[in-house]
Amino acid sequence: MRLSMSEYPTPSSLLKKYDVPTPRYTSYPTVPCWDTESFSKKEWVTSVRKVFDETNTEKGISLYIHLPFCESLCTYCACTTRITKNHNVEIPYIQAILKEWEMYKKIFGKAPIVRELHLGGGTPTFFSARNLRWLISYLLEGVLIHEDAEFSFEGHPNNTSLDHLQTLRSLGFRRVSFGVQDLDLKVQQTIHRIQPFENLQKVTRDARETGFESISFDLIYGLPFQNPATISDTINKVLTLKPDRISFYSYAHVPWLRPGQRGYGDADLPTDIQKRSLYETGREKLEAADYKELGMDHFALQQDSLYKAHVRGALHRNFMGYTTTNTDLLIGLGASAISDAKYAYAQNVKRVEDYLEAIKDTSAIVKGHLLTEEDLLLKGSILEISCKDSLSPELMNKVVDPTMLGMLAEMEEEGILRLNEGGGLKVTPAGRPFIRNICSVFDKRMRGQVSNDTPLFSKAI
């Protein structure tokens, strides 16, 4: 039986100590720490081909499509978006995505087996259902679909129509995640995202009736003007809809990167201690309603495949977040999209116009990183900690150095983790708020780069 958080009170001194800029570790090395100088597109193509040949048998590949457009800006948002009400942007953008995919298909040299397909954004449902049908049908031409394929998309509850749901369901999509964030009116007004609960009720009902098997909600704690009462109210409402999964994200406050976040002041935001208690309020309510906590900031019902993967030790994490599909090749298409070819990462240019221009004659990649042997071991270690709350002796003994051991020993004294005899570690229940910090011990690439000027990451708590 898991004890409730109140039985593991988190000392405020630890919250203060560890509430420092820290990555979310959807990759290692994280993008700001990539060695872009050593990267070349030629090496990138070699890595893609190598991993494709190694894994395009049983495992298959993952495909992420970045659809950046939104009609209006939610000021809290840290995603890479383009705000416009002009829907003429849809067709040229789809054409560019299809062209980029053709380039990859040429590199593969034979039909890819698609295990995972995710439409992210921005707002995929900015696009008309008709245009999404066109995009997906062409993307899947000449492609084999894995027998356990998972197709999913991010839907905005305000503009996901029945037509979107029916179209995507008929194309094989079975999972959808809806951006909920918070249901309190004052919070919504502050973040410029007015989203009545009725919209969420309707879209959730429509998704179920259309045959979507897994519905996930994104919630955020740490937004301006949230307090335990508003969080409780939001979660009570959410629980009436029983989503299969809930991502309960820590608000990433990065106003130097997202000026929209300057629309409210620091005084409107909860302090680090208040923010953590918002999470605990939410967590207690979710656990009381039979949701299980897994990884960082995620919850799922026991019958959901994400939870089952967690129990089997098969949870995986990539640029899309937690997933059950442990593929080694993730191709990201679209402006700002990131690809992971196991031995190398690559990112496309961020501005939509630059992406459209680049794709006319070549790839849109602007930077990347080639992983060294050590990077691969550190990547494996960080992945294991963030997916399993532990690290095996085999892996730890290969990567640990005296600096890391010193940091880990300090964390053990603080009750955050337990070091096993002979190597390996286990995150304690009291250490769960600090998983990002524990991962950062293994982030050798970040060590040399910490500066006090402009932080590279949002704070850990």
Ligand X SMILES: C[S@@+](CC[C@H](N)C(=O)[O-])C[C@H]1O[C@@H](n2cnc3c(N)ncnc32)[C@H](O)[C@@H]1O
- Report the nearest approach of ligand X to the CB of residue 79 (Å): 4
Rounded-to-integer distance, Cα 250 and Cα 82, Å = 23
Segments in 244-347 forming alpha helices (H): 272-288, 305-312
Omega cis (within 30) before 122: yes
For residue 400, what are the contacts with CB-CB under 8 A and spacing of at least 6? Answer: 408, 423
Q: Residue 218 binds which one of ligand SF4, ligand X, none, with CB within 5 to 8 A depending on kind? A: ligand X
Contact region with ligand SF4 (CB under 6 A), list: 3-11, 68-76, 209-217, 315-323: 68-76
Rounded-to-integer distance, Cα 359 and Cα 98, Å = 10
Partners of 332 in beta bridges: 64
Choice between 67 and 113, CB closer to ligand X: 67
Is residue 335 involved in binding ligand SF4 (CB under 6 A)? no
Q: Residue 73 binds which one of ligand X, ligand SF4, none, with CB within 5 to 8 A depending on kind? A: ligand SF4
Choice between 80 and 386, CB closer to ligand SF4: 80
Is residue 381 involved in binding ligand X (CB under 6 A)? no
Rounded-to-integer distance, Cα 197 and Cα 199, Å = 5
Task: Tell me how many degrees the CA angle 267-273-276 measures, rounded to the nearest 5.
Answer: 110
Among 73, 107, 377, 419, binds ligand SF4 (CB under 6 A): 73
- The pattern of x and - marking residues 177 through 206 that bind ligand X according to CB under 6 A reads --x-x-------------------------
- Report the nearest approach of ligand SF4 to the CB of residue 301 (Å): 25
Best CA proximity match to 77, nearest among 260, 220, 219? 260
Which residues from 207-236 bind ligand X, rule CB under 6 A? Answer: 218, 220
Choice between 225 and 343, CB closer to ligand X: 225
Q: Residue 173 binds which one of ligand X, ligand SF4, none, with CB within 5 to 8 A depending on kind? A: none
Is residue 77 involved in binding ligand X (CB under 6 A)? yes
Rounded-to-integer distance, Cα 368 and Cα 386, Å = 23
Is residue 123 involved in binding ligand X (CB under 6 A)? yes
**Between β-strands 214-221 and 291-294, what pairing exists: parallel, antiparallel or unpaired?**
unpaired
> Are residues 83 and 70 in contact, defined by beta-carbon separation less than 8 angstroms?
yes
Rounded-to-integer distance, Cα 332 and Cα 337, Å = 5
Rounded-to-integer distance, Cα 269 and Cα 459, Å = 13
Q: How many CB atoms lie within 10 A of CB 338?
A: 22
Which residues from 140-199 bind ligand SF4, rule CB under 6 A? Answer: 156, 179
Is residue 247 involved in binding ligand SF4 (CB under 6 A)? no
- Report the nearest approach of ligand X to the CB of residue 174 (Å): 18
**Contact residues for ligand X (CB under 6 A)?**
70, 76-79, 120-123, 154, 156, 179, 181, 218, 220, 249, 251-252
| Residues at the contact surface with ligand SF4, assessed by CB under 6 A | 70, 73-74, 77, 79, 81, 121-123, 156, 179
